[in-house]
Amino acid sequence: MMQAYKVTSLLTTGLELGAFDQLADRPQSASQVAAAIGVDPRGARILLDALAAIGLVETDGDTYHLAPASEMYLVRDRPEYVGDMARVFASKWEWEAVRRLPEAVRRGGTVLDVHAETPEYAYWEDFATSVAAVAKPAAAALAGVLHEWASGHSRLDVLDVAAGHGLYGFTLACGHPRSRVWALDWPNVLHITRLHAAKLGLSDRARFIGGDMFEVELGGPYDLIIAGNVLHHFSEERCVTLLRRLACATKPGGRIAVVGFALENLPPRQDPAPYLFAVLMLVWTHGGEVHRLKVYHRMLVESGFARPTVHRIAGLPFRIVVAER
């Protein structure tokens, strides 16, 4: 555990320098890789040997080639590439935050001057740009959960709160040609949201709301409001404040869909992901944490929604919680 930073540093360095891309087509010597990616030969040799030591590269002593998992996930032009996620998980933002964990434990919340609740926090630009590897399957799962209900509407008006990349709302819209999506986020993030809308051919059906979701005019009413990966940033009391705002912007009979981590009745050892994510919320927010499913039920009912249904996302530690207005 004390030396895990070495593995992370090797992975991110290999991605940053293009070592995995360079080895994608054929085995090469360290000097060939060094010349191709523009680094020192000694540095390339030590890096490649270390990548071999952790199983990301394989070597016969003279040449190097990619391990199967690296071939699939770490080569940029592969369809299952996840390397961009390193910009989020191994970013300076998260590393600097967790360095202050002892102080955050003492205080019971962030000690940072700039953190996840800071208006127009630059981290969210990296997040919106880099998390497609996780966002796409989660967005597809959400669209699947809502498909039958959404298909019963001749037109669907959707508000995506803290939209970021916008893929939750946009993926749903791709399957429902008469739907429109309003994406709400900080102004510094929305230029990335616009790019994703354009790539999906949705520019004519996408609208954008810049500002603080607790204060900005929401518009509406909407058939569906999506709150993806956002409620864990706030205390239960603060979540209820937001959810009441969203309820007022939801049509009677409309839906809210919450996507994110949730704690179930499993011990931490059997379900570690949400407990580890809660640590990031401790160092990065004033009152955020991963809420239990029973808390989601309580918050939604208290805010004016019906009792929700809960859906799992295959292969991801997220839950989709859907409730009717």
- Beta carbons of 206 and 192 less than 8 angstroms apart: no
194 CB-contact burial (10 Å; exposed 0-12 / middle 13-18 / buried 19+): middle
CATH number of 4-81: 1.10.10.10
What is the homologous superfamily of the domain 123-324 according to CATH?
Vaccinia Virus protein VP39 (3.40.50.150)
Question: How do the domains of the chain map onto residue ranges?
Answer: 4-81, 123-324
Q: What is the pLDDT of residue 133?
A: 87
Q: Which two tokens stand for residue 268?
A: 């931490």
Q: Is 222 helix (H, G, I), strand (E, B) or coil?
A: strand
- CA 226-148-201 angle, 5° bins: 60
Q: What is the pLDDT of residue 171?
A: 97
* Mean pLDDT by groups of 10 residues along the chain of 325 residues: 94 97 96 98 98 97 96 95 90 90 98 96 94 93 97 95 98 96 98 97 98 97 97 98 98 97 93 96 97 97 97 92 98
Q: What is the pLDDT of residue 55?
A: 97
Q: What is the pLDDT of residue 89?
A: 86
Q: Is 177 helix (H, G, I), strand (E, B) or coil?
A: coil
Task: For the chain, report the end-to-end CA distance as a whole number of angstroms.
Answer: 46
Enumerate helices (H) and strands (E) in the chain, giving the number of each. Answer: 15, 9
| Tens-digit pLDDT profile for residues 157-204 | 999 999 999 999 999 999 999 999 999 999 999 999 999 999 999 999
Long-range CB contacts for residues 241-244, cutoff 8 Å, separation at least 24: 241/214, 242/213, 242/214, 243/299, 243/300, 243/302, 243/303, 243/304, 243/305, 244/303, 244/304
| Tens-digit pLDDT profile for residues 267-290 | 999 999 999 999 999 999 999 999
What pTM does this model have?
0.93
- Alpha helix (H) ranges present in the chain? 4-17, 19-22, 30-37, 41-53, 68-73, 86-89, 92-98, 101-107, 123-130, 132-151, 167-174, 187-199, 236-248, 272-284, 293-302
Q: What is the pLDDT of residue 90?
A: 84
Q: What is the pLDDT of residue 210?
A: 98
